[in-house]
């Protein structure tokens, strides 16, 4: 289908002539206003199930077609919690790199704001996707870029392990890393195995580099409690002014009986009969 432009001299307005060839010597032509053409495009996008993608990501039709193809084809997209939220960056900017897609989605789920494919030039100037790359001035294009108050972090997902890299690849990566560090960047590189098999560890490493505080669940550390709930015996932080865990304290607070006999010494955790109460949470050996 060819579309030609023609000026209607009688109305002095631009009209579109849509020409549909039927055979070598036969065609159908229809003059359309810009509004007519937009309506036709909307209808075609609806028929092709592309309208929602085009409107959501403000992308070109060809990009929308590519995105839809990936969403329909990839099983990982079906149940993705970021579906139709980050599809453009994941499917178009990350491209066909599965490693980048995996790490990108996990970064977003952890509420880490990243920029994809930022261009860093040798003179420390930068540009952003999809601006063209000048091969004479470009230093590197990190997969992910994160900026905090006091850090500029470049992250790479390498498709090879450290032992699989050729000498050229290793020398090139070290050279880029040195140049970036001289320009004030922090560089993180992760292998295929790390991204696929140790993703939580990778995310925690990135958070630490950003200076974020990790909770106990993220670090995998077992909390060190130095006290015991005097009612149920659960380990907790030592606090003689409130020697109960949250659950037992809520029950106790309803009656507030300070002399009610409890079960365990708040400090050593031993079961003590007829001696422990809210007012007296320690056994004689721990006082």
**Would you tell me how many other CB atoms lie within 10 Å of the CB of residue 80?**
17
Residue 77: pLDDT band with limits 50, 70, 90: confident
CA–CA dist 68, 87 (Å, integer): 9
CA–CA dist 249, 254 (Å, integer): 9
Residue 209 confidence (pLDDT): 93
Q: What is the DSSP letter of 138?
A: E
Sorted by sequence, the CB contacts under 8 Å of residue 274 that are 6+ apart come out as 261
> What is the tens place of the pLDDT at every residue in 25-46?
777 776 777 777 667 677 777 6
Confidence check: pLDDT of 285 > 60: yes
Distances (CA, A) of 169 to 18, 80, 160, 163, 181: 53, 34, 10, 11, 18
Q: Are 118 and 148 in contact (CB under 8 A)?
A: no
Q: Are 2 and 21 in contact (CB under 8 A)?
A: yes
Confidence check: pLDDT of 47 > 50: yes
pTM of the model: 0.59
Residue 181 confidence (pLDDT): 95
Tokens of 41: 């495009």
> What is the tens place of the pLDDT at every residue in 101-121?
999 999 998 999 999 999 999
Q: Which DSSP string do the residues of 225-285 spell out, in sequence order?
A: --EE-TTT--EE---TTS-S-HHHHHHHHHH--TT---SB-TTT--B-SS---SS--S-TT
Looking at the chain, the whole-number percentage of residues with pLDDT higher than 70 is 80
Sorted by sequence, the CB contacts under 8 Å of residue 33 that are 6+ apart come out as 13, 15, 16
> What is the tens place of the pLDDT at every residue in 141-172?
999 999 998 999 999 997 555 445 677 777 88
Mean pLDDT of 184-196: 92
């Amino acid at each position: 289908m060819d579309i030609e432009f023609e000026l209607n001299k009688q109305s002095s307005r631009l009209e579109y002539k849509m020409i549909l060839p039927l055979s070598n010597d036969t065609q159908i032509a229809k003059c359309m206003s810009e509004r007519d053409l937009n309506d036709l495009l909307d209808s075609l996008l609806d028929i092709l199930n592309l309208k929602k993608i085009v409107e959501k990501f403000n992308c070109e039709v060809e990009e929308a077609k590519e995105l839809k193809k990936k969403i329909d084809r990839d099983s990982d997209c079906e149940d993705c919690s970021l579906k139709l939220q980050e599809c453009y960056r994941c499917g178009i900017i990350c491209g066909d790199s599965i490693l980048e897609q995996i790490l990108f989605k996990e970064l977003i789920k952890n509420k880490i704001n990243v920029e994809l494919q930022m261009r860093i030039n040798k003179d420390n100037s930068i540009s952003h996707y999809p601006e063209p790359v000048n091969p004479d001035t470009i230093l590197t294009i990190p997969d992910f870029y994160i900026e905090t108050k006091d850090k500029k972090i470049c992250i790479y997902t390498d498709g090879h392990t450290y032992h699989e890299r050729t000498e050229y690849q290793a020398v090139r990566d070290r050279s880029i890393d040195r140049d970036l560090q001289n320009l004030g960047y922090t560089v993180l590189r992760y292998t295929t195995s790390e991204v696929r098999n140790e993703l939580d560890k990778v995310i925690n490493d990135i958070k630490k580099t950003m200076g974020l505080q990790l909770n106990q669940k993220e670090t995998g550390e077992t909390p060190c409690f130095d006290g015991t709930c005097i009612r149920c015996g659960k380990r907790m932080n030592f606090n003689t002014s409130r020697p109960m865990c949250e659950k037992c304290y809520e029950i106790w607070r309803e009656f507030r009986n300070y002399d009610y006999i409890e079960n365990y010494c708040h400090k050593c955790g031993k079961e003590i009969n007829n001696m422990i109460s809210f007012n007296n949470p320690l056994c004689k050996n721990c006082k």
